[in-house]
A and B are shown apart, each in its own frame.
Chain A
Amino acid sequence: MTLRRSAGVADSSADSTALTSFSLPGLAGNDREAMDRVAAAVADLELPPDRVDRLKTAVSEAAMNAIEYGSHGRADVPFDVDVVVTPTDVIVRVTDRALSGPVPTDPETPDLERKLAGDQKPRGWGLFLIEHMVDAIDVSADEAAGTQTVTLRIAREEKRHD
Chain B
Amino acid sequence: MTDRSFGAEVVGRPDGVRLQMRGDLDSRADETLRDAYREVATSGSPGLTLDFGEVGYINSTGIALVVRLLADARRDGRGVRAVGLTRHYQEIFRITRLSDFMDIVEGDAA
Contact = CB atoms under 8 A, between A and B. Distances in A.
Nearest to A67: B27
Interface residues of B, number: 27
A122 B64 CA distance: 5
B63 interface: yes
B28 A28 contact: yes
Contacts of A35: 57
Interface string A83-118: 000000000000000000000000000101101111
Interface residues of A, number: 28
A78 interface: no
Contact of A29 (B26, B63, B70, B74): B26
Given A53-B87, A118-B71, 18 more contacts: A28-B27, A29-B28, A31-B26, A32-B4, A32-B59, A54-B88, A57-B88, A60-B59, A64-B59, A112-B67, A112-B96, A113-B97, A116-B67, A116-B74, A123-B60, A123-B64, A124-B64, A132-B95
Interface of A: 28-29, 31-32, 35, 50, 53-54, 57, 60-61, 64, 110, 112-113, 115-118, 121-126, 128-129, 132
